[in-house]
Amino acid sequence: IAGITQAPTSQILAAGRRMTLRCTQDMRHNAMYWYRQDLGLGLRLIHYSNTAGTTGKGEVPDGYSVSRANTDDFPLTLASAVPSQTSVYFCASSDGTGNPAFFGQGTRLTVV
């Protein structure tokens, strides 16, 4: 693994189903983030974690939950997917010292 790995790369999901998007980083970064990217809206922060064991809400947290059991992993869960959650989801991490965030390649999720 080099950098940030997201899985799956794409998924079609029936509305009402539960789904977990996975994110793993091998840079030992303290901070991790989940964004969704929608046309015309740019990237919007869903949830973040500044260190293992802590999480916080971003701009659009409703319908999503996260956990940070260890430094490397930061899964994003949709408890009951709705079509408005169709989007491209990006995981990112940073070392928390002012350096930039590094991004994964994204997960394209379609809720039908």
Partner 1 sequence: AQSVTQLDSQVPVFEEAPVELRCNYSSSVSVYLFWYVQYPNQGLQLLLKYLSGSTLVKGINGFEAEFNKSQTSFHLRKPSVHISDTAEYFCAVRTTGNQFYFGTGTSLTVIP
- The residue ranges that bind partner 1 (CB under 8 A) are 31, 33, 35, 40-45, 48, 50, 56, 58-59, 90, 92, 94, 96, 98-106
CB of 105 to partner 1, least distance (A): 5
Closest CB to partner 1 among 14 and 40? 40
8 Å CB contact between 88 and 104: no
Can you name the residues that pair with 82 across neighbouring β-strands?
none
CB of 61 to partner 1, least distance (A): 12
Distance CA 104, CA 23 (A): 8
